[in-house]
Amino acid sequence: MEEKKEKKLNFFTAWKRSNVTTKIYQVLVHLFAIAGGCILGAWAIYQLGLTNNSGSVDANNRYLANYKAVANTTDSSLIFARAMQNYMDLAILSKYYPHNARAIFEAAQNTDRIDGVERMLYAASMYLKEDSIGGDYPKMAAEMQAIFDKYEAKKTTKNLIPWLNEPAWESLKVAIVKDKAQIEKAAEMTGVEPRLIVACLVGEQIRLFNSKREKYKSYLGPIKVLSVQSQFSFGINGIKDFTAAHVERNLRDSTSVHYMGKEYEHILDYDTALLNRAGTLENARFIRLTDYHNHLYSYLYTGCILRQTMIQWERAGYDISDRPDILCTLFNLGFSASKPSPSPQCGGSHIKVLNRVYTFGVIGNDFYFSGELAKEFPMHQNIFQKN
């Protein structure tokens, strides 16, 4: 014991007598020794596996493993049926968790997965099982399904809109898509949505086909091109000469109730070479409207008529900018029939298709909201571009 005490005293005596450099050296040596020991100890613990988290099988493993993917990704009817079921379930989810329902809906718009909505709903349902608020979700889903199954399915390949079952419609769609670039160019130049211009085109082409069926079958049937008029009305949209002249005057006349604005004044200016070749303004107008290979001017005049009509009504205090039925009607009837009022009426020329009579305005509106050609000509938030 005395010996240990003496050694301890000798250590402290030696430490006190040491100079600063020696003391620093000794401290560093001891620190490095401690650090080395810690590192070796940590390495030993790691090698022995003492830090491993063994984990466990999740309680929902069986539920997650039971998801059944869409079996046939090429059967469009099967995929569509499942998609409708998914959106019904999504509507029910929104009753309890609108935030999650909205997130799933928006995510589905940005994925190309066929089972996107279904898979997200399946994952969400895992938590609905244990949630007191969403506890009624399965019950409500079952009740909705029972109501859905109660009524006998009467599936048909027919279109709900009768005139769209006209066999010529399939050929007409092909012909319209061929003009997509020209339609979009005219729409950009006039500030009118392409789909509305197409709605007027559809009304006129259906009218032509059914009034002179045998003649126009030769256009739409084998070669799938649009019919071009060259007698009383001109071009693919049947625009009369005096209507086209009225459109041109409205573009330049800043006092007109139809004036579109300075940026549009020159969109229908005539090329000098065309005027020289035609000899008269009327002939030049006829040439560019009845061009069988380039329908751009037919679409330009159509866009101008639609925009000038909308502006006339807007200046009178009536908004028809989101009324394709009224705009198509007035396009068909002409400027003389465009008389702003608080109660505009849909109508126009009578068109008989498959033994049923429609009006031009209804056919234009039917197409606009039918979903047909929606990929090529989608609906925009605003039909008319703001100046």
pLDDT one-digit tens code per residue, 172-185? 999 999 999 999 99
Greater model confidence, 144 or 37:
144
First to last CA, the chain: 103
Q: Are 172 and 279 part of one and the same domain? A: yes
Confidence of residue 1 (pLDDT cuts 50, 70, 90): low
Q: Are 259 and 110 part of one and the same domain? A: no
β-bridge partners, 192: 384
Q: Are 126 and 175 part of one and the same domain? A: no
Domain-embedded: residue 60: no
Predicted pLDDT at 306: 98
Domain-embedded: residue 101: yes
Report, as an integer, the average pLDDT of 356-368.
96
Query: Range of 137's domain?
Result: 71-142
d(CA 201, CA 377): 13
Domain-embedded: residue 183: yes
Greater model confidence, 77 or 91:
91
Q: Are 247 and 289 part of one and the same domain? A: yes
Predicted pLDDT at 27: 59
Q: Are 208 and 125 part of one and the same domain? A: no
- Say if residue 352's pLDDT is above 60: yes
- How many domains, in total, are found in the chain? 2
Highest mean pLDDT among 50-59, 122-131, 249-258: 249-258
Confidence of residue 111 (pLDDT cuts 50, 70, 90): confident
Q: Are 127 and 184 part of one and the same domain? A: no
